[in-house]
Structure 1
C-alpha cells in the first residue's frame, strides 16, 4: 500500500474533522489570542475550529454534547475531556503540536490539580457539613457562656446577701448601748 493510499484510508476513519485547512490549531489559537487579548480554552477552540464557512458544525452530535457538558462543569477544558475522553500522553487535542498536558494550567485528565465536578461537589458537601458542625459547636459554646454568666450572677447575689446579714460581732446595734445612762443614774459600764 502506498503512503498516499494509507493516508487516504486514515482520513476516511476520522469522525471529527477540523476546518482550518493547512493552518495549525496553534497558529489559529495564537491569532485569536493576539486579536482578542485573552486565552482560549480547548472547548472554545473546538467550537471555532470545527465549523464550516456557513457556521454549521462538522459534527453536530459532538457540538451538542460539548455545549451540554460546558453548562454542567465549571471549566470548558473539563467539559472537553468529559465529551472526548482522556488525552494521549504528551499531546493535548485542540491546542496544536508541542503542547503537553503539563503545560495546560487548567483542568486536564493528566493534571494533578484537576478535579472532576463530582469530586468538587463531594468536597463542597464535606466542607458544608464541617461548617454546620462548627456552627452547632459555636452555638453550644455561646449557650455555655450564658449559663456560666448566669451562675456567676447568682453567686455574686448570694455573696451580697451574705454580707448584708449581721454578723455576731456587729450584733450590738440595739437602742440600749453601754454609753447611755440607765434609770438609776449609773452607766452600764460602771458606777457614778
Structure 2
C-alpha cells in the first residue's frame, strides 16, 4: 500500500499521469529523491505528492488514449472496437469480452495488453476502494506506524537501488513484451532481445541515452553482425554476450513472467523443432524432384512411342497407295509384317 492510497476520501486525490498510452503505472520510488540523506515524514511525503500533481495539472490535460481491441460476444462473433480505459471500465459491453492476445512466452501483447494495464493501474490507484472511512486525514488510525515500519524502509531501499541502477531506458511504462511484438510486426520478422535492448536505450533522435548504454549497444550490434544466429534467443545470444551473467529467476530483456529454465528450454526445443522441420522440407524437396524427373522420363517415352506410331501410319499409307496404283493386293509377307506392327503399335486411325 503506497502513501497516496491511504488518503481519505474527503480530500482530492492526485490524478496519475500515463507515461505511455493510457497506462497508469508509477514506480514505488517515483516521489523519492535518491540523493536525499533523510526521508520525509509521512505528511511531508503526501504534501509533496499533491504539489507535484497540481503542477502537472497546470501543464494541461493529457489527450485521452484509445486502444484498438477486438470484442467477442456470447455467439463467438468477433468485432473490432476502439475504446479508452474509462470507457472500458464504465461502459456496458453487452456480454462481450475484450480479447487479450499472448505471445509464445505467455506474455500479454497488443493494444489489449495496454488497455488491461491501464485498467489495473486505475483500479490500484483508486483510494476509494480502500476501507478508510475517516473524513479527516489526521484521524486515520495507524498511518504513522505503517509509514515508519513499512513505507519509510521501502523508500530508503528504493533510493539505494536507484543509485545502483546502471542502465535506465526510454521505454516508459510499455512492457518489453509489447515493444518486442510491435517491433517484430514492423520489421516483418521476429526481433531478438538484443535489438529490443538497443531500441529501449536510444532517444527519439537515434542517440543513446548515455555513454555506458552506447558501449553496450554497439557491442550487441557488432556481435550480431559477426554472427546472425546470436539474434535468436539463447543463453549465448548477443545480449548475453554483451552483458554479465543472467540473474537467477528472470531473463533480461524479456520482461515479467519468463524464467531462464522455462525460456531457454523452450528456445532449445524450438531450435530442435526448427531443425526437424528443415530436414522434413529437404526430404520433401528431394521427393518432389524425383517425381518431376520420373514424369519427364515418362513424357519422353510417350513422345517416342507417338513418333513411332506416326511413322508406322505413314508407311501404311504409302503401301496402301502403291497397292491402289497397281490395282492389286499386298503380298502375304507384307501383309503379315503389317499385322505384326498393328499388334505391337496399336490400331490404325
The alignment's TM-score, normalised by the length of structure 2, stands at: 0.28
Larger radius of gyration: 1
Q: Which has the higher strand share?
A: 2
